[in-house]
């Protein structure tokens, strides 16, 4: 059992920001376009951004635009709405502006608040700065007759102070003088964090900040919150965006900022298991995916080659050469091969383990076999993995995520059924219950 | 001086778990087999595992089996015995079961407790959850007339909460309301940790969790405890197990879980210095070990080649080619070469430094020379390293570990003498004293 | 806005230690040589080292030498002076010696204290140990009629305990019972840290300790302090020293220990932007710098080759081959190419952004174009990067560092003007103000 979550969504894949006022005839144009998004193009959390994405001089108009657009079309929008207001740990006037923005947006007379799930607070500092923001939420709720704690608070972690504060949430959240139980997402903001840490890279690229992402994910885990990574601003680079998401997922950070509907689509799909399984083969610094062909898996690159000799094989990989007998060849390829299971495979394994458990067995071997083809030579490999309760529980995460998406995002049902087939979707919704 | 340790063993290389009850005629069969282990096959810490390794329905019988087997053969077992009981930060009923299991196993009337050194508590949460477990230890000790604090407590760190708790041990351990000084090992449990952090990898493999391991090692260092890594479950993959241990050692995590007597042998030997020194050469992404032959070190791979030209050399490495004169060649090879000292080498260096210190010198240059042979061409390289008190102290760790093993594990004396020769063992026991 | 710094220097590039007494006729010889350093050979912080660099039996004389040399030549020395005294978290007698050393060095009657900026305390433990040292500073100040808090305190972080303490500085620094606001630098000491963590590497090399460096940089950021890395003791290895500094800078750790004036020169220059911009191309595991020639950038290595075919191109990289049309080739090379901007380029970009901001635009695209030449074939690439306020702020760090250096180190003006030209220096001093 994971620390109980306080809010509806247990997972957030996508955090999509939109300028609240732009320099065009209709300053609310971007907001109007965003609130019309549906299906895979619609994020799990939509963030009308009245901070960095909007020019300071336009932010009063931004507040009005949020109210106008959300009160008009919020009822039909499929996702949560969390406007970002201004805030800064070092500036009382900025904090007071943020308070006023929240007070206005949340005023029930303006008609938007019933579709607003919370607010995003940027540039927080130490834990006492988080409490200042929380106190303003409480006052806003009290002034407007909203239930105390009903507005969720999310923060952008973009300072060393805020990174340290994440280690204290668990012990601070229960205290009677605050309502920090309203916390929802911990979102990294690597550009400002880089400034705050005074880091320099030769090309100006952002440092990877692996420790920050770990600490954000850990803070979320310890306090029952949701970890979200910051923006990936090379929008052209879809492959790089996916690599970043794969890295994040291995840290338990399953959500990421999206800057365009195109990025939203990629990020909505990324943590979901693939439709088809695949075999990967390690051939140098990277893994390559093998081509499926009539049930066999063919390697067609040039880095690895295989040759049959009298009573054996010669395997060449990059500059290295190995003389192997049949058993050694199978072992070598097994070491280099990895299987990426499909949604269907995962559901199969879980059902198999559940049946075994019901029959009183605590651990079973899951078998995965394939025929690889390299330079025309077929090699059969087979891989066993022991599954016990802990393996089963850890493998459950992508399924739980899928179930959370399915329950909360009816607008994506069609896309999901198309990706996976109706049958797999149905079984995935059953497993683990 | 390192923070003083509270318990007998200053190092734990191996943490070996055994199911307490299996579905066979003799349900204690695995326990009986484990308690007969001796020498390199016997772990530093043996953990009869009444949690995940044993089916829930068999755990009452598991308690009886532990008592029966340990009371009968515990006297002759060469290592510490720490049964793992059930526990969960989110389940009071599981915690109460864990308490009852400890109470029963530690009952002096059952005859096992005099051979039991402590208990392992899995699935702990924040520091206050650790205190709940500690309180049960205290009650067990009090009820059974055992000295307060005499049963050691070790925990499995398998949640973000527990990871954060490790940062608070030093300040919590002195408080009068607890007996947390009984803490002994901090053991990572990566499978459940992966679940708790909600991490996903495409193939289902465990993430590396480098930060967790650092934080565990740091927590152990700050509180005078011992850091142990979790299970490596690909039992076939001896090379992978060794790579993991090398990584861990560089983090100060010198112990690791072992699932089989074969893994115990590997893990007992891994942190001990090698019997023979060796030269490594960097030839691409990896280092290769050179072959010793009549006192020279020969490279026999195909990734690096060397050719003599008029007045110089051409060195080829992978796709790159370097034209070098003799001095540059020596420099280049010196940069690529590293020496792995043997136990004998380390003892030599320490004796040399101790003699220099006695003669009033604070720093000396340790010289290491070798003749490398590449494509028939001999190149002499020589490497100086300054040693001062700090270098000496840092180099002492493997020797201190060896001394701890030698003092506490007479059953391994024969193996150690065989590995290193009587003479080296004797000098290694003298150095630093 | 970054957390306000308490001291004059906002940046420290170099931390240069000198033995206070050596076994020669003039035991102060090394100190005399060091205090004569000027320009790029003079460090930002000079540390007469009365701890590890000086033999224990010479340390009383070391105190006298510091007093003699600093009182005589301190007035003309261009940098801050912070002697290191002895200290150990586990030894009251060592701590008392450290106190006596400070008391003596800071005695106004000895004439050195007016040139002494603070003291460096090694081997600190948990935060309460830091407070013991701070209390001695306060007593020294009080006894000698110095302003409370006027002596800066820096620590060497070389234990797990001290690493954890860095997470608490922000909340401890305001408390009325201490003067921890005097804290200035957090300096990693990896040799002793390795001992404290009980880490082992096969060759005896230091582990990379990436997490420690992150945590030091974060601690500095959260408390308004300065992060400095420990010694790099392979003095011959200039390339390795630079790689370490580049890594550190990406963590926000802009300072590093220097053991020789040669290392000081390298480390003083390393965080400053280069004089000339350059293009890097990824051709395998590493990036290579392209050769500029008449405004084009030529790749002259052998790992990457390009060939024109009917209506397309074949690009070969290592073992891989890509068939590409013109657009794909440009895209592929753009993905592999990165520009390292010069000081002049950075100042240009900042001025451009400032002008845009004044004209009411919040974000602009910065364009960077080049003609690459591979195997005689010219390919034009162009890279756009969006700059907003946050990008601008993050890009500001090297400029702020430059301005801090320029204001505090008049002895380096000549070197800087030579590196960058007078004009660039002038514009760099203007930008951002």
Interface predicted TM-score (ipTM):
0.95
Q: What is the pLDDT of residue C6?
A: 60
**C-alpha distances in Å from residue B311, one per residue of A381, B307, B314, B316, B324:** 52, 11, 10, 17, 9
**Across all residues in chain A, what is the average pLDDT?**
94
Q: Is C91 on the interface with A (CB under 8 A)?
A: no
Structure-token pair, residue C195: 């001992």
Query: Is the pLDDT at C415 greater than 80, yes or no?
Result: yes
> B155 - beta bridge partners?
B121, B186
Q: What is the pLDDT of residue A1?
A: 38
Give the one of B159, B198, B237 whose C-beta lies nearest to A254's C-beta.
B198
Structure-token pair, residue A149: 């704690």
Enumerate residues 95 to 124 of chain B having a beta carbon within 8 A of any beta carbon in chain A: none
Give the one of B192, B199, B303 whose C-beta lies nearest to A319's C-beta.
B303
Would you say B94 and B56 are in contact if contact means Cβ atoms under 8 Å apart?
A: no
| pLDDT class of C2 with cuts at 50, 70, 90 | very low
Q: Is B382 on the interface with C (CB under 8 A)?
A: no
Structure-token pair, residue B95: 């915690």
Q: Do B249 and C201 touch (CB under 8 A)?
A: yes
Comparing alpha-carbon positions, the chain B residue that sits nearest to C285 is: B285
Q: Which among A130, A160, A189 is the top mutation candidate for probing chain C, defined by the most C β-carbons within 10 Å of its own β-carbon?
A: A160
Q: Beta strand C291-293 with C337-340: parallel, antiparallel or unpaired?
A: unpaired
Query: Is the pLDDT at C3 greater than 60, yes or no?
Result: no
Determine the angle formed by the axes of helices A397-408 and A413-420, rounding to 10 degrees: 140
CA of A383, closest CA in chain B: separation in Å? 11
Query: Is the pLDDT at C16 greater than 50, yes or no?
Result: yes
Q: Do A302 and C320 touch (CB under 8 A)?
A: yes
Query: Is the pLDDT at A284 greater than 80, yes or no?
Result: no
Give the one of B210, B321, B386 whose C-beta lies nearest to C302's C-beta.
B321
Residue written as tokens 């995965």? A368
| pLDDT class of C123 with cuts at 50, 70, 90 | very high
Q: What is the pLDDT of residue B133?
A: 98
C-alpha of A327 from chain center:
41
Chains that touch B (3 or more CB pairs under 8 A): A, C
Comparing alpha-carbon positions, the chain A residue that sits nearest to C401 is: A198
Mean pLDDT of A283-297: 88
| pLDDT class of C317 with cuts at 50, 70, 90 | confident
CA of C256, closest CA in chain B: separation in Å? 19
Q: Is C365 on the interface with A (CB under 8 A)?
A: no
Q: Do C1 and A90 touch (CB under 8 A)?
A: yes
Q: What is the pLDDT of residue A6?
A: 61
* 8-state DSSP, B206: P
CB pairs under 8 A between A and B: 107
CA of C3, closest CA in chain A: separation in Å? 8
Residues on chain B touching C90 (C-beta within 8 angstroms): 1, 3
**C-alpha distances in Å from residue B426, one per residue of B358, B410, B416, B421, C39:** 21, 14, 11, 9, 54
Would you say A199 and C251 are in contact if contact means Cβ atoms under 8 Å apart?
A: yes
* CA angle in degrees (0–180, nearest 5) for B245-B246-B247: 90
CATH 3.20.20.60 in chain A is located at 14-269
- Rounded Cα gap, residues B175 and B135, in angstroms: 13
Q: What percent of chain A has pLDDT over 70?
A: 98
The secondary structure element, H or E, covering residue C81 is strand C80-81
Q: Is B412 on the interface with A (CB under 8 A)?
A: no
**C-alpha distances in Å from residue C155, one per residue of A317, B222, C130, C190:** 50, 17, 8, 13
pLDDT digits (tens, 9 = 90+) for B29-61: 999 999 999 999 999 999 999 999 998 999 999
Write a three-state SS string for C203-254. Answer: CCCCCCCHHHHHHHHHHHHHHCCEEEECCCCCCCCHHHHHHHHHHHHCCCCC
Q: Is C246 on the interface with A (CB under 8 A)?
A: yes
Mean pLDDT of C34-58: 96
Judged by phi (left if over 0) then psi (alpha if -120 to 50, else beta), residue B376 lies in left
pLDDT digits (tens, 9 = 90+) for C151-198: 999 999 999 999 999 999 999 998 999 999 999 999 999 999 999 999
* 8-state DSSP, C373: E
Q: What is the pLDDT of residue C233?
A: 82
pLDDT digits (tens, 9 = 90+) for C348-391: 999 999 998 888 777 788 889 999 999 999 999 988 888 888 88
Q: Beta strand B152-157 with B183-188: parallel, antiparallel or unpaired?
A: parallel
Of the candidates B299, B291, B405, which has an alpha carbon nearest to the alpha carbon of residue B343?
Answer: B405
**C-alpha distances in Å from residue C20, one per residue of A46, B371, C26, C228, C260:** 62, 40, 11, 21, 15
- For the sheet with C183-188, list strands across it: C80-81, C45-49, C14-19, C255-258, C226-229, C183-188, C152-157, C118-121
**Across all residues in chain C, what is the average pLDDT?**
94
Q: Do A160 and C220 touch (CB under 8 A)?
A: yes
CA of A61, closest CA in chain C: separation in Å? 16
Q: Do C2 and A198 touch (CB under 8 A)?
A: yes
pLDDT digits (tens, 9 = 90+) for A19-29: 999 989 999 99
Query: Is the pLDDT at A195 greater than 60, yes or no?
Result: yes
Residues on chain A touching C221 (C-beta within 8 angstroms): 159-161, 196-198
Would you say C175 and C127 are in contact if contact means Cβ atoms under 8 Å apart?
A: no
**C-alpha distances in Å from residue A158, one per residue of A179, B379, C197, C351:** 22, 53, 30, 25
Mean pLDDT of C71-98: 98
> A297 - beta bridge partners?
A292, A372
Fold annotation for C14-269: TIM Barrel (3.20.20)
Residue written as tokens 């007339």? B145
End-to-end CA distance of chain B: 14
Enumerate residues 171 to 190 of chain A having a beta carbon within 8 A of any beta carbon in chain B: 171
Q: What is the pLDDT of residue B362?
A: 72
Q: Is A340 on the interface with C (CB under 8 A)?
A: no
pLDDT digits (tens, 9 = 90+) for C217-267: 999 999 999 999 999 988 888 999 999 999 999 999 999 999 999 999 999
Give the one of B246, B321, B397 whose C-beta lies nearest to C202's C-beta.
B246
End-to-end CA distance of chain A: 14
Mean pLDDT of C324-341: 93
Q: Is C300 on the interface with B (CB under 8 A)?
A: no
Q: Beta strand A364-374 with A296-299: parallel, antiparallel or unpaired?
A: parallel
CA of C284, closest CA in chain B: separation in Å? 10
Q: Which among A394, A396, A399, A402 is the top mutation candidate for probing chain B, defined by the most B β-carbons within 10 Å of its own β-carbon?
A: A394
Comparing alpha-carbon positions, the chain A residue that sits nearest to C4 is: A90
Q: Do C203 and B280 touch (CB under 8 A)?
A: yes
Q: Which positions of chain B have pLDDT values less than 50?
A: 1-2
Structure-token pair, residue B364: 């000396």
């Amino acid at each position: 059992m994971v620390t109980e979550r306080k809010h509806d969504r247990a997972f957030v894949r996508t955090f999509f920001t939109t300028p609240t006022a732009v320099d065009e005839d209709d300053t609310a144009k971007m907001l109007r376009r965003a609130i019309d998004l549906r299906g895979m193009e619609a994020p799990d959390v939509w963030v009308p951004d009245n901070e960095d994405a909007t020019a300071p001089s336009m932010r009063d108009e931004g507040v009005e635009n949020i109210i106008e657009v959300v009160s008009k079309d919020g009822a039909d929008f499929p996702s949560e709405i969390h406007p970002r207001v201004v805030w800064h740990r070092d500036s009382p006037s900025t904090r007071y502006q943020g308070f006023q923005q929240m007070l206005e947006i949340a005023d029930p007379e303006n008609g938007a608040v019933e579709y607003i799930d919370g607010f995003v607070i940027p540039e927080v500092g130490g834990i006492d700065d988080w409490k200042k923001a929380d106190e303003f939420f409480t006052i806003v709720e009290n002034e407007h007759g909203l239930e105390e704690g009903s507005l969720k608070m999310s923060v952008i972690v973009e300072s060393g102070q805020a990174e340290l504060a994440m280690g204290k949430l668990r012990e601070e959240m229960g205290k009677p003088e605050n309502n920090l139980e309203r916390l929802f997402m911990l979102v990294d903001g690597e550009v400002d964090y880089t400034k705050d840490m005074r880091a320099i890279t030769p090309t100006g690229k952002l440092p990877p900040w692996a420790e920050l992402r770990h600490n954000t994910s850990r803070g979320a885990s310890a306090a029952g919150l949701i970890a979200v990574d910051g923006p990936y601003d090379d929008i052209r680079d879809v492959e790089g965006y996916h690599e970043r998401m794969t890295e994040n997922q291995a840290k338990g950070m399953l959500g990421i900022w999206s800057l365009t509907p195109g990025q939203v689509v990629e990020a909505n799909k990324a943590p979901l298991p693939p439709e088809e399984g695949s075999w990967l083969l390690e051939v140098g610094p990277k893994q390559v995916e093998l081509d499926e062909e009539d049930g066999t898996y063919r390697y067609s690159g040039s880095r690895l080659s295989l040759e049959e000799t009298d009573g054996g094989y010669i395997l060449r990989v990059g500059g290295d050469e190995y003389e192997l007998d049949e058993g050694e060849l199978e072992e070598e390829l097994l070491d280099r091969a990895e299987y990426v299971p499909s949604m269907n495979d995962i559901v199969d394994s879980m059902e198999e383990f559940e049946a075994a458990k019901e029959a009183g067995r605590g651990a079973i071997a899951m078998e995965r076999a394939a025929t690889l083809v390299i330079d025309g030579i077929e090699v059969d490999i087979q891989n066993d993995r022991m599954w016990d309760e802990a393996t089963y529980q850890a493998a459950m995460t992508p399924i739980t995520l899928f179930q959370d998406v399915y329950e909360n995002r009816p607008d994506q049902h069609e896309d999901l059924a198309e990706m996976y087939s109706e049958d797999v979707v149905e079984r995935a919704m059953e497993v683990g219950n």
